[in-house]
Amino acid sequence: MKNARILIVEDEAIIAEDLKMAINNIGFNVVGHATNARVAIEKALEFEPDLIIMDIVLKGQMNGIDASYKIHEKRNIPIIFLTAYSDLDLIEKAKTIKPYAYLVKPFQERQLLASIEMALDRKQMEIALQKSEAQKQAILDGSPDMIMLVDLDMHVLWANRTALDMNPDVIGMTCYKAYTNMDKICEGCPCLKTISTGQTRMGVKYQSTLAGIKGESYWENIGVPIKDNEGRLNNIIIIARNITDRKLSEEALRESEEFSTSLLINSPNPIVVINPDTFIRYINPAVEQLTGFSKSELIGRKAPYPWWTEETVQNPGMNNKNIRNRVNRFEQTFRNKNGGQFVVEITSTPVKRSGAVRYYLENWIDITHNQHIE
């Protein structure tokens, strides 16, 4: 990182001048010089340098370590400590600051260059990592799913925004205590299988009560194993998706289909469902009763159908697309399996999806008796 801006904090004038010359020689810029901790703090906040070279031992009430603490409270600026071999006790104390490097006096220019480049490179990597972590956090927090990292005892180590919104105190708690207020892991939890197998497992769970959720709910839970380099299981990622709306919709659809099927089966009128290519996809028991043909004889058949008469076969209007593309009501004479004829009034309704006809629903009414009376 050429042209980096560096603040020097050194109370010995000769060493400070040597530092300044060396820094300029290797292509960096000195933005300021402080001789004590108080001025160092002020200039660090004012100039916001890319790097600070700080002598550990400074004159005054505060040393370089104290100044670094104060600076880090306000700014995340990398610091290289300038030390002497006699400063061993202070060096040990300086470890709590986590300096980017140490430079031992008297220093060589190549050592100075290596320390500066190492500190600046580390800072760039930290910035990139922080950016990456922030992006990952934003993605995870943007998910409507609950996402948590737990240990093998199910204690929550990290949680995304959705999980925290449901229980802000979840960190450190077991997931089952945090959300169900139970003292044992939920029955059927896929994480148990993840722990025993070391593999991703999924399951659907009904919850009568759950923190942050009003009423009953259904959840799709996924346990994802996190392993170390030797393949040992360390943690588990839990992904919990609220599928209540989907389950209720599926249940409503199932009930609707059962109801519709019941109506078709129990309808006294014959009902035939025919694909656009004339393939018979469904008949109800009333069709079998009227025609004498069984379901196995009719399902899958294409026109001409066994109940058609010669007149029906020769009638081109039956397959006219313009006629078949709208609701039609017409009469037809058919024959049953024994050869007897019967007359039906047919209401043919095209059932469409996305503008295309998916099938025709034909409702027959037997009017043979009416025809005989006339």
% of the chain residues with pLDDT over 70: 93
Q: Last residue of a domain, which of 93, 112, 138?
A: 138
Same domain, 159 and 196: yes
The CATH code of the domain that includes 71 is 3.40.50.2300
Per-residue DSSP letters for 320-355? -HHHHTS-EEEEEEEE-TTS-EEEEEEEEEEEEETT
pLDDT confidence tier of residue 247, bands split at 50, 70 and 90: confident
371, HSE (Cβ side, Cα atoms, 13 Å): 12
Residue 85 pLDDT > 80, yes or no? no
pLDDT in the model for residue 88: 61
Asked if residue 298 belongs to a domain, the reply is yes
pLDDT confidence tier of residue 319, bands split at 50, 70 and 90: low
**Mean pLDDT score, 30-58:** 92
Structural tokens at position 243:
């599928």
Residue-wise pLDDT for 95-136, tens only, equals 666 778 788 888 888 888 888 888 888 888 888 888 888 888
Asked if residue 202 belongs to a domain, the reply is yes
Amino acid at residue number 261: T
The total domain count for the chain is 3
Asked if residue 51 belongs to a domain, the reply is yes
pLDDT in the model for residue 260: 75
Q: Last residue of a domain, which of 122, 138, 154?
A: 138
pLDDT in the model for residue 301: 92
Same domain, 116 and 180: no
pLDDT in the model for residue 1: 63
More confident residue, 37 or 96: 37
More confident residue, 105 or 48: 48
Q: Last residue of a domain, which of 138, 160, 195?
A: 138
pLDDT in the model for residue 255: 80
Asked if residue 224 belongs to a domain, the reply is yes
Reported residue count of the chain is 374
Same domain, 223 and 281: no
Inter-residue contact 284 to 267 (CB < 8 Å): yes
Phi, psi of 208 (to 5 degrees): -70, -35
Same domain, 55 and 98: yes
Mean pLDDT of the chain: 87
226-253 burial, b at 16+ Cβ within 10 Å, e below that, comes to eeeeeeebebbbbbbbbbbeebeeeeee
Asked if residue 258 belongs to a domain, the reply is no
Helix/strand/coil for 38: helix
Same domain, 241 and 279: no
Same domain, 271 and 360: yes
Asked if residue 261 belongs to a domain, the reply is no
Asked if residue 253 belongs to a domain, the reply is no
Residue-wise pLDDT for 160-185, tens only, equals 999 999 999 999 999 989 898 888 88
More confident residue, 126 or 270: 270
215 Rama class: left (phi>0) / alpha (psi -120 to 50) / beta? left
Same domain, 125 and 24: yes
Same domain, 127 and 19: yes
Same domain, 15 and 125: yes
The CATH code of the domain that includes 332 is 3.30.450.20
Structural tokens at position 69:
């603490």
pLDDT confidence tier of residue 321, bands split at 50, 70 and 90: low
Same domain, 120 and 203: no
Same domain, 124 and 153: no
Domain that holds residue 123: 5-138
Asked if residue 341 belongs to a domain, the reply is yes
pLDDT in the model for residue 155: 95
Same domain, 279 and 360: yes
**Mean pLDDT score, 57-79:** 89
pTM (2 d.p.): 0.54
192-214 burial, b at 16+ Cβ within 10 Å, e below that, comes to bbbbeeeeebebebebeebeeee
